[in-house]
């Protein structure tokens, strides 16, 4: 039985074969589940337009369910000489069902098959990322509320500047994630449109029922224009990568702050011992390696949109094999980000804050503006008050009053964490993950 879908009696140079297949045999394993779901939907649709008999469809569904089981058990492999997951699934169907297996590719191309697989894979992985972002958000808000009265110095130019608080610091990262969730929402919505039926990128002369596959696969809608559906390859991944990158940006900044504040020179934060690593030579060390690795991984993730852009940027319309390479960068990105989110959440929940920071007189100057504002509120022109306090500091006789009263929205005394929670909740709950998941479960029960 031919292992190449396109075999026509010529032999392919093994080196050419190795080069063109690249890492597909390994990476396509991540798409296998979705390839099977796509085939269940496609064959159901083919039956409805008379391209398959009901018995043929049922036989295909049975066999596809078997293959799904093999995938779930981790036993699915793409055999040597088989190019990709699409060929492997068709080969398995044809081995078991003969001519019926050979009929499944009517009205379809590997170009729309891989588009579909990528959308279903991404839709699933984005759900996981959204859940993990929400968990980290909750942990940050909880820490912010818990430590809302614990002051710390705020910095500009990395110079002691003004009073800040752990309530503000934790809460700032939570609000940052709420903005990142907007990108994830857009990514999910853009991803959740059906490309199946665009075939090689120009549709088909069969009367395909694209509404039906859209519904069966639980998509919100379809990519209507078949040329655009194919053009979405690369564009969709790039835009989703932007969403991942914005989350990664929040995490790498958090990681840098945490490493810095954990160092002895600051001593603002203490990582739990179980979250640190030791040194082979210096017996006293408890290093924040987790945050350092997280920072590097997240910095690498921030390069992803650019990496994808450089691969697909100057391609004209239509499919090109260039697009295959994007999978190497794109598919592993989700696990990488998710792992960072889980690590960050674990540590943030356990991190300890130093409640005595301000007893150290090196931070006294950060109360200068408080004193200026007190004098200004009593009627002294701001500029005169500024000068008076400045001269006192220069002369070394400034005694700070460490009582502070910040009341406006988003300030130390009025964090507005509830409002931030509402922003997050509104975005998060607007994504109907269950619709997609229900459709996938139903396909496996057909």
Query: Looking at the annotation, which residues are catalytic?
Result: 157, 279
Name which of 372, 378, 418, 442 is nearest 142 in CA terms.
418
Of the candidate residues 64, 82, 114, 311, the single one contacting ligand ARG (CB under 6 A): 114
* Residue 42 in contact with ligand ARG, rule: CB under 6 A: no
Site for ligand ARG in 148-177 (CB under 6 A): none
Beta carbon of residue 323, minimum distance to ligand ARG (angstroms, whole number): 5
HSE, side-chain direction, 13 A CA sphere, residue 369: 11
Q: β-strands 193-194, 221-222: how paired?
A: parallel
Query: With 0-12 CB in 10 A as exposed, 13-18 as middle and 19+ as buried, what is 286?
Result: middle
CB of 31 to ligand ARG, least distance (A): 9
Q: Tell me how crowded residue 222 is: count the other CB atoms within 10 A of its CB.
A: 20
Which of 87, 94, 324, 417 touches ligand ARG by CB under 6 A? Answer: 324
Which residue, 114 or 348, has its beta carbon nearer to ligand ARG? 114
Pick the binder of ligand ARG from 111, 214, 223, 262 (CB under 6 A). Answer: 111
24 scored as a contact of ligand ARG (CB under 6 A): yes
34 binds ligand ARG (CB under 6 A): no
Handedness of CA 245, 251, 254, 256 (dihedral sign): negative
In the complex, minimum distance from the CB of residue 319 to ligand ARG, in angstroms, rounded to a whole number: 5
Work out the widest C-alpha separation in the chain, in whole angstroms. 94
Of residues 76, 166, 268, 319, which one binds ligand ARG by CB under 6 A?
A: 319
The correct pick among 61, 105, 108, 110 for binding ligand ARG (CB under 6 A) is 110
Using the CB atoms, write b or e for 144-165: b if 16+ within 10 Å: beebbebbbbeeeeeebebbbb
* Measured distance CA(190)–CA(195) in Å, rounded: 11
* CB of 140 closer than 8 Å to CB of 341: no
Among 28, 83, 37, 320, smallest CA distance to 201 is for 320
Using the rule CB under 6 A, is 35 a contact of ligand ARG? no
In the bound state with ligand ARG, the residue whose beta carbon lies nearer, of 284 and 321, is: 321
Nearest CB to ligand ARG, comparing residues 42 and 327 = 327
# residues contacting ligand ARG (CB under 6 A) = 10
Contact between 231 and ligand ARG (CB under 6 A)? no
C-beta neighbour count of 178 within 10 angstroms: 21
| 44-52, 303-311, 321-329, 430-438 -> range binding ligand ARG (CB under 6 A) | 321-329
Nearer to ligand ARG, 326 or 344 (CB): 326
DSSP per-residue letters across 55-92: HHHHHHHHHHHHHHHHHHTT-----TT--SHHHHHHHH
105 binds ligand ARG (CB under 6 A): no
Select the span of 181-189, 249-257, 316-324, 394-402 touching ligand ARG (CB under 6 A).
Answer: 316-324
Q: How far is the CB of 184 from ligand ARG (least distance, A)?
A: 24
Cβ-based nearer residue to ligand ARG, 223 or 262: 223
Is 121 an interacting residue with respect to ligand ARG (CB under 6 A)?
A: no
- Interacting residue with ligand ARG among 84, 90, 237, 370 (CB under 6 A): 84
Report the alpha-carbon distance of residue 133 to residue 431 in Å, rounded: 14
The answer to whether 200 touches 6, Cβ cutoff 8 Å, is no
Of 203-211, 309-317, 323-331, 426-434, the segment contacting ligand ARG by CB under 6 A is 323-331
Which of these ranges, 107-115, 159-167, 168-176, 270-278, lies near ligand ARG under the rule CB under 6 A?
A: 107-115
| Strands in 146-294 per DSSP E | 151-156, 159-165, 193-194, 221-222, 269-270
- Inter-residue contact 55 to 103 (CB < 8 Å): no
The DSSP-derived string for 15-37 is HHHHHHHTTHHHHGGGGHHHHHH
Q: Which stretch binds ligand ARG (CB under 6 A): 322-330, 370-378, 392-400, 431-439?
A: 322-330
- Angle at CA of residue 277, ends 290 and 298, nearest 5°: 15
Residue 226 near ligand ARG by CB under 6 A: no
* Residue among 109 and 165 whose Cβ is closer to ligand ARG: 109
List of residues contacting ligand ARG (CB under 6 A): 24, 84, 110-111, 114, 319, 321, 323-324, 327
């Amino acid at each position: 039985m031919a292992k190449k879908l396109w075999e026509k009696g010529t032999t392919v140079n093994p080196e050419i074969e190795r080069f063109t297949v690249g890492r597909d045999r390994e990476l396509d394993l991540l798409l296998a589940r979705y390839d099977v779901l796509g085939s269940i939907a496609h064959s159901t649709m083919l039956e409805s337009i008379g391209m398959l008999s009901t018995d043929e469809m049922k036989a295909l569904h049975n066999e596809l369910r078997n293959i799904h089981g093999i995938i779930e058990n981790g036993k699915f492999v793409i055999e040597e000489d088989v190019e990709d997951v699409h060929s492997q699934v068709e080969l398995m169907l044809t081995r078991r069902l003969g001519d019926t297996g050979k009929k499944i590719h009517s009205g379809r191309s590997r170009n729309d098959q891989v588009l579909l697989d990528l959308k279903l894979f991404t839709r699933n992985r984005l759900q996981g990322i959204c859940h993990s972002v929400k968990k980290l958000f909750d942990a940050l808000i909880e820490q912010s509320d818990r430590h809302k009265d614990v002051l710390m110095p705020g910095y500009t130019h990395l110079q002691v500047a003004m009073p800040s608080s752990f309530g503000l610091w934790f809460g700032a990262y939570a609000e940052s994630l709420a903005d990142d969730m907007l990108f994830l929402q857009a990514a999910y919505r853009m991803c959740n449109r059906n490309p199946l039926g665009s075939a090689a990128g120009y549709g088909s002369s069969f009367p395909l029922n694209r509404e039906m596959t859209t519904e069966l696969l639980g998509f919100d809608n379809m990519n209507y224009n078949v040329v655009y559906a194919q053009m979405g390859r690369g564009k969709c991944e790039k835009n989703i990568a932007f969403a991942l990158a914005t989350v990664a940006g929040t995490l790498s900044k958090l990681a840098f702050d945490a490493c810095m504040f954990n160092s002895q020179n600051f001593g603002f934060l203490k990582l739990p011992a179980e979250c640190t690593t030791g040194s082979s030579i210096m017996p006293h060390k408890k290093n924040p390696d987790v945050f350092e690795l997280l920072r590097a991984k997240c910095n690498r993730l921030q390069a992803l949109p650019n990496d994808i852009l450089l691969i697909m940027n100057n391609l004209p319309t239509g499919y090109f094999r260039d697009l295959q390479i994007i999978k190497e960068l794109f598919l592993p990105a989700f696990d990488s980000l998710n792992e960072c989110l889980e690590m960050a959440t674990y540590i943030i929940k356990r991190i300890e804050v130093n409640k005595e920071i301000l007893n150290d007189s090196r931070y006294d100057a950060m109360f200068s503006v408080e004193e200026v504002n007190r004098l200004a509120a009593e009627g002294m022109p701001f500029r005169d008050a500024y000068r008076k306090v400045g001269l006192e500091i220069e002369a070394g006789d400034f005694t700070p009053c460490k009582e502070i009263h910040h009341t406006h929205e988003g300030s130390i005394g009025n964090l507005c964490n509830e409002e931030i929670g509402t922003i997050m909740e509104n975005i998060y709950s607007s994504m109907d993950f269950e619709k997609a998941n229900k459709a996938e479960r139903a396909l496996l029960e057909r």
